[in-house]
Structures are given as structure tokens and as C-alpha cells.
Amino acid sequence: MSDTHVTAPRAEGPGAHQPPDTRKPLVEIRNLSRRFGDVTALDDVSLTIAENEFFALLGPSGCGKTTLLRAIAGFERPDSGTMLLGGQDLVGLPPHKRPLNLMFQSYALFPHMTVEANVAYGLEQEKLGKDEIRRRVGEVLETVGLTATAKRKPHQLSGGQRQRVALARAVVKRPKLLLLDEPLSALDRKVRTQMQLELKRLQQEVGITFVVVTHDQEEAMSMADRLAVLAHGRVQQVATPVETYRRPANLFVADFIGDSNRFAGRVVDGGLHVDAVGLLPGQVVGDVSGEAHLVVRPEETRLVEAGHGLLDGRVVETQFYGGVSTVAVEVPDHAEPVLCAVSGVSTVERGAAVSLTWNAESAVVVGGSL
């Protein structure tokens, strides 16, 4: 089970829907591979990213997400495959000729320049007129809420403000595509949460496609229209955050995204047969047969009176955080406690005999391995 707590995404929140069918594909990646000696960083990766979409590349360290971002930016040359941006072939095109911008993790602001000078730098390199530069810099500073700090230097700004300067400098050149590499990792938790909303708002206002690399599940789930989960250089699933959470494509995605209870067994009609307990109800995802796993989220797992559920066990721990109690139940012949999320403060006591149950449509049966 994942150590990272991720709240189930709400269907009406950001990222709850697929991009409308009217959106044209902006980035088309087909069968992209990149190897470093004996290590395959990207293994036959294919993705399509739409115009004006907020797209996240999510996965653990070493999964290939940063290599993919650098390949799109032009800093890594793939060994095979194709990349198109707005129909233009990117393979072989140097980074400075690609109609995109990359915002680095470190922000890379010029410390001796003011905020407005930092933002104007790229436009000055393009030899635009002074009036045009002044107008565009003023507009973007107003958009990111930094008009009042235009004359300050980076060291006079907070971490969140420096991040906004870096964003303003990236979008002022009006690229077709903005790539962001762990853009919020340098911020503390409270500021990071605020900037997640700010990034989404900014992306919608400026109308630029954002592709963000992150290992932070909450970050990806709260901001992205769609996300791609990567592992071992391969794409495991591409879907909306809601679909990824509720209908993971395989065991890796189910385990990586949020907390989950999983049971090993054999696929049968109606769910999964587990030798120690019999049939556990669930819906089979994809073409899965034979040995598989059933996955059910803690918030879909319910506590009922002992002897009246699918699994019997004893409460070993209860934790209360953020308006939700997580009850851990020890089940015989199951290696890990089964987690159940209860709204409010749970009244169940440690050591109490309970049963656990869930609806068949709330659990999924998936194949694959961790």
C-alpha cells in the first residue's frame, strides 16, 4: 500500500473530464525510445496531448518522466520514434528552434535583474520593440499578480513569488507548449497548495498547453486534465485523474496512486476468488484472467457488524486526520491490515471484532505486478 495519502478526486473538480473532442492534438509522440547504455529510460512510449490541455507526467523516480520531458524540449535525442508539435517534426530540431519553453525546477532567475527585467529578457533577445515588450510584460505580471513587485530583485521575493516570476518569464514569449519540471518542489506545503490552484488558473487564462513532470500524486491529481502514469520507461495508463484513481489499468497504477487494499487470487465470475475467504466481489478491468489482484479504496470499504460482511477481523489502529478516521483492521491470512476510511471521528475501539464489506462496482480486479 502506498505511504502517500491522496484524497479521492471528485468528479466535478479539475481534471474530471476528458478534453473535449473539439481539441486538436498538439503533441503526438509515437514509439519513442531512449537508452543509456544498458538502461532503457524510455521504452516505446506513445502519447497524444491536446491543445490547451494541462497534462501531467507522473511516476516514481527513475520511471522516465524527466527523460521524456527533456526529449520533447530537445535536450535528449531519442534512439527511435517520432515527436510532432503542431504537426512539425521535432526530432533533430535544436532546442532553441522549438516553439516551446521549459521552466526549470530551480527557476534560474537572474539575481541582479528586477522582476520586470527577468520577464522581459526573452523578448529582448527576440529584438521586439520596447513598447511591445513593455505591454506584454505588464500584461503577464498582472496575470500572475506581480505588478506591485515589478521593481524588486529575486532575493526580495518569497518562494511563491519567485515561482510566479519564472512562470511569467516562460509564458510571456507565448509558446505553443510550456514544459514544467517539478515546478512546485521548492515550495513549502501551504504555498505549494496555493500555487497548484494558481498554475491551473494561469494555464486556463493564457491558453497554453502545459506539460508538468511530478512525482507528487496530489499535485498531478489536483491540476491535470489528464495524466500519464509511467514506470520502468513505459506508459502504464493515460486517463483523467478520476478515472486513474477509480479504474486503475493495472496493479502498479492501483498501488502507486493513493492508498488501496489489495487481495491476491484468481479471476472468477463476479470478482476474485481468494483461497482463505472465497469470492470477493469486484469488476474486472481489461482482459484479465488467471492470477490477479482485487483493489478497493479505503473510502469504499465499510465497517459492519461482525459476521455480516465479506471479511472478519479485529481493529488494530484508528487515526483521525482532516475530518476522516482511518481504521486499520487485521484480517486472518492477510499480510497487511485492511484500511477503512470513516467520515468524522470513529467510535470503534481497538480490539473490536468487526466485518468489512464493499459494493462490487467499487472494487476492481487488475493484472500486472508492482
**Amino acid, res. 31:** N
- Range of 103-117, 139-153, 300-314 with top mean pLDDT: 300-314
Question: In this predicted structure, what is the pLDDT of residue 12?
Answer: 42
Q: 141 exposed, middle or buried (CB, 10 Å; 0-12, 13-18, 19+)? A: buried
Average pLDDT over residues 352-360: 97
Question: In this predicted structure, what is the pLDDT of residue 66?
Answer: 93
Question: In this predicted structure, what is the pLDDT of residue 105?
Answer: 67
Taking the C-alpha atoms of residue 365 and residue 369, their distance in angstroms, rounded to an integer, is 13
Average pLDDT over residues 309-334: 94
Tens of pLDDT, residue by residue over 128-151, are 999 999 999 998 898 888 999 999
Tens of pLDDT, residue by residue over 184-230, are 776 677 777 777 877 888 888 888 899 999 888 888 998 899 999 99
Give residue limits of the domains in the chain. 25-99+175-246, 259-366
For residue 174 the three cell numbers come to: 507565448
DSSP string covering 311-345? EEEEEEEEEEETTEEEEEEE-TT-SSPEEEEEES-
Give percent of the chain with pLDDT exceeding 70.
Answer: 93
Question: In this predicted structure, what is the pLDDT of residue 1?
Answer: 43
**25-99+175-246 with 259-366: one CATH topology?**
no
Tens of pLDDT, residue by residue over 43-100, are 999 999 999 999 999 999 999 999 999 999 999 999 999 999 999 999 989 998 999 9
Taking the C-alpha atoms of residue 32 and residue 42, their distance in angstroms, rounded to an integer, is 7
- For residue 286, name the pLDDT band (cuts at 50, 70, 90): confident
Question: In this predicted structure, what is the pLDDT of residue 8?
Answer: 61
- Name the fold adopted by 25-99+175-246: Rossmann fold (3.40.50)
263 within 8 A of 279, measured Cβ to Cβ: no
pTM of the model: 0.85
CATH class of 259-366: mainly beta
Taking 60 as the threshold, does the pLDDT of residue 21 lie above it?
A: no
Tens of pLDDT, residue by residue over 170-186, are 888 888 899 988 877 76
Tens of pLDDT, residue by residue over 249-267, are 999 999 999 899 999 999 9
Give percent of the chain with pLDDT exceeding 90.
Answer: 66
Taking 70 as the threshold, does the pLDDT of residue 19 lie above it?
A: no
Tens of pLDDT, residue by residue over 229-253, are 999 999 999 999 999 999 999 999 9
Beta strands in 197-287 (DSSP E): 209-214, 226-231, 234-239, 261-268, 271-274, 278-281, 283-284
Average pLDDT, the chain: 89
Taking the C-alpha atoms of residue 85 and residue 72, their distance in angstroms, rounded to an integer, is 9
